[in-house]
Amino acid sequence: MRPTDRAVVFLDFDGVLHPVGVPAIDEEFRLIDNPDLFVWRPILERLLAPYPTVGIIVSSDWRRLFDNATLLRLLGPLAARFVGVVECYGSFRSEGILAEVKRRGLKGWVVLDDHPSVIAAQAGDARFIACEPATGVSSVDVQRTVSLRLARLPVDGI
Protein backbone atom coordinates (compact mmCIF):
# COMPACT_ATOMS: atom_id res chain seq x y z
CA MET A 1 0.00 0.00 0.00
CA ARG A 2 1.47 3.35 -1.02
CA PRO A 3 1.39 5.97 1.77
CA THR A 4 -0.93 8.15 -0.33
CA ASP A 5 -3.43 5.30 -0.41
CA ARG A 6 -3.57 5.01 3.36
CA ALA A 7 -6.36 6.62 5.27
CA VAL A 8 -4.79 9.03 7.74
CA VAL A 9 -5.39 11.07 10.85
CA PHE A 10 -3.92 14.56 10.79
CA LEU A 11 -2.80 14.90 14.38
CA ASP A 12 -2.14 17.91 16.56
CA PHE A 13 -0.43 17.40 19.93
CA ASP A 14 -1.24 20.34 22.24
CA GLY A 15 -4.92 20.32 23.09
CA VAL A 16 -5.37 16.84 21.62
CA LEU A 17 -2.91 14.42 23.27
CA HIS A 18 -2.43 16.59 26.36
CA PRO A 19 -3.95 19.87 27.61
CA VAL A 20 -2.78 23.13 26.11
CA GLY A 21 -0.24 24.81 28.36
CA VAL A 22 1.54 21.69 29.60
CA PRO A 23 5.22 22.67 29.68
CA ALA A 24 7.05 20.92 26.85
CA ILE A 25 10.19 22.84 25.95
CA ASP A 26 12.77 24.88 27.79
CA GLU A 27 14.03 28.35 26.85
CA GLU A 28 16.42 26.79 24.32
CA PHE A 29 13.59 24.86 22.62
CA ARG A 30 14.74 21.51 24.01
CA LEU A 31 12.11 18.97 24.96
CA ILE A 32 11.72 18.64 28.72
CA ASP A 33 10.84 15.48 30.59
CA ASN A 34 7.25 16.08 31.72
CA PRO A 35 4.95 13.17 32.63
CA ASP A 36 1.92 15.35 31.79
CA LEU A 37 2.83 15.35 28.10
CA PHE A 38 0.95 12.90 25.86
CA VAL A 39 -1.22 11.65 28.73
CA TRP A 40 -4.12 10.99 26.34
CA ARG A 41 -2.06 9.13 23.73
CA PRO A 42 -3.35 5.74 25.05
CA ILE A 43 -6.90 6.90 24.27
CA LEU A 44 -5.97 7.53 20.64
CA GLU A 45 -4.16 4.18 20.55
CA ARG A 46 -7.37 2.49 21.66
CA LEU A 47 -9.49 4.38 19.13
CA LEU A 48 -7.13 3.48 16.27
CA ALA A 49 -6.61 -0.18 17.31
CA PRO A 50 -9.44 -1.54 15.10
CA TYR A 51 -7.88 0.22 12.09
CA PRO A 52 -4.27 -1.00 11.78
CA THR A 53 -3.74 0.53 8.32
CA VAL A 54 -4.72 4.07 9.31
CA GLY A 55 -1.65 6.30 9.31
CA ILE A 56 -0.78 9.50 11.15
CA ILE A 57 0.40 12.75 9.63
CA VAL A 58 1.59 15.21 12.24
CA SER A 59 -0.04 18.60 11.71
CA SER A 60 1.04 20.00 15.07
CA ASP A 61 3.40 22.96 15.22
CA TRP A 62 5.77 20.50 16.92
CA ARG A 63 6.69 19.41 13.37
CA ARG A 64 8.54 22.72 13.01
CA LEU A 65 10.49 22.25 16.25
CA PHE A 66 11.51 18.60 16.05
CA ASP A 67 12.82 16.21 13.43
CA ASN A 68 10.96 13.07 12.39
CA ALA A 69 13.02 10.86 14.72
CA THR A 70 11.90 12.92 17.71
CA LEU A 71 8.29 12.96 16.53
CA LEU A 72 8.41 9.17 16.22
CA ARG A 73 9.70 8.89 19.77
CA LEU A 74 6.94 11.19 21.01
CA LEU A 75 4.29 9.14 19.21
CA GLY A 76 5.47 6.08 21.14
CA PRO A 77 3.30 3.07 20.26
CA LEU A 78 1.68 5.11 17.49
CA ALA A 79 5.03 5.60 15.73
CA ALA A 80 4.44 2.67 13.37
CA ARG A 81 1.53 4.65 11.91
CA PHE A 82 3.69 7.71 11.12
CA VAL A 83 3.38 8.72 7.47
CA GLY A 84 4.99 12.13 7.75
CA VAL A 85 4.25 15.73 8.56
CA VAL A 86 2.17 18.44 6.97
CA GLU A 87 4.61 20.11 4.59
CA CYS A 88 2.13 22.61 3.19
CA TYR A 89 1.47 25.86 4.97
CA GLY A 90 -1.53 28.11 4.64
CA SER A 91 -2.73 31.17 6.46
CA PHE A 92 -4.65 28.80 8.70
CA ARG A 93 -3.87 25.27 9.83
CA SER A 94 -6.99 23.93 8.12
CA GLU A 95 -5.78 25.40 4.81
CA GLY A 96 -2.39 23.72 5.21
CA ILE A 97 -4.07 20.40 5.91
CA LEU A 98 -6.34 20.71 2.86
CA ALA A 99 -3.32 21.57 0.70
CA GLU A 100 -1.54 18.49 2.09
CA VAL A 101 -4.58 16.31 1.31
CA LYS A 102 -4.44 17.53 -2.28
CA ARG A 103 -0.63 17.22 -2.54
CA ARG A 104 -0.71 13.63 -1.31
CA GLY A 105 -3.89 12.69 -3.17
CA LEU A 106 -5.53 11.41 0.01
CA LYS A 107 -8.96 9.85 -0.21
CA GLY A 108 -9.61 8.99 3.42
CA TRP A 109 -8.65 11.35 6.20
CA VAL A 110 -9.75 13.01 9.42
CA VAL A 111 -8.25 15.82 11.48
CA LEU A 112 -7.87 15.90 15.27
CA ASP A 113 -7.00 19.43 16.36
CA ASP A 114 -7.95 22.28 18.68
CA HIS A 115 -6.83 25.05 16.33
CA PRO A 116 -9.48 27.76 15.75
CA SER A 117 -9.34 27.23 11.97
CA VAL A 118 -10.17 23.56 12.48
CA ILE A 119 -13.10 24.49 14.69
CA ALA A 120 -14.35 26.77 11.91
CA ALA A 121 -13.72 24.13 9.21
CA GLN A 122 -15.67 21.52 11.19
CA ALA A 123 -18.89 23.40 10.42
CA GLY A 124 -18.49 22.63 6.71
CA ASP A 125 -16.59 19.34 6.76
CA ALA A 126 -17.17 16.58 9.32
CA ARG A 127 -13.66 15.21 8.70
CA PHE A 128 -12.40 18.07 10.87
CA ILE A 129 -12.82 17.00 14.49
CA ALA A 130 -12.31 19.89 16.86
CA CYS A 131 -11.09 19.27 20.40
CA GLU A 132 -11.39 21.49 23.44
CA PRO A 133 -7.87 22.61 24.43
CA ALA A 134 -8.33 21.50 28.04
CA THR A 135 -9.77 18.05 27.32
CA GLY A 136 -8.56 16.99 23.87
CA VAL A 137 -9.19 13.38 22.97
CA SER A 138 -10.07 12.59 26.59
CA SER A 139 -13.54 14.02 25.89
CA VAL A 140 -16.13 11.28 25.53
CA ASP A 141 -17.87 13.31 22.80
CA VAL A 142 -14.63 13.60 20.83
CA GLN A 143 -13.96 9.88 21.26
CA ARG A 144 -17.45 9.07 19.97
CA THR A 145 -16.97 11.36 16.96
CA VAL A 146 -13.53 9.92 16.19
CA SER A 147 -14.90 6.38 16.34
CA LEU A 148 -17.72 7.26 13.95
CA ARG A 149 -15.40 9.01 11.48
CA LEU A 150 -12.81 6.21 11.57
CA ALA A 151 -15.50 3.64 10.83
CA ARG A 152 -16.34 5.57 7.64
CA LEU A 153 -12.78 5.88 6.36
CA PRO A 154 -11.72 3.90 3.30
CA VAL A 155 -9.05 1.89 5.12
CA ASP A 156 -8.13 -0.33 2.18
CA GLY A 157 -6.93 2.44 -0.11
CA ILE A 158 -10.10 2.58 -2.19
CATH number for the domain that contains residue 32 = 3.40.50
Note the pTM of the prediction, 2 decimals. Answer: 0.91
Question: For residue 19, which of 141, 144, 137, 145 has the smallest C-alpha distance?
Answer: 137
Q: Return d(Cα 18, Cα 22) in angstroms, integer.
A: 7
**The total number of structural domains that make up the chain:** 1
In a domain, 157, yes or no: no
Q: What is the mean pLDDT of the chain?
A: 90
Q: Across residues 28-52, what is the average pLDDT? A: 94
In a domain, 158, yes or no: no
Is residue 3 predicted with pLDDT exceeding 70? no
The per-residue pLDDT for range 79-89, each reduced to its tens digit, is 999 999 998 77
Q: Where are the beta strands (DSSP E) in 5-158?
A: 8-11, 55-58, 82-85, 109-113, 128-130
Q: Which domain holds residue 68?
A: 3-152
In a domain, 30, yes or no: yes
What percent of the chain is modeled with pLDDT above 90?
68
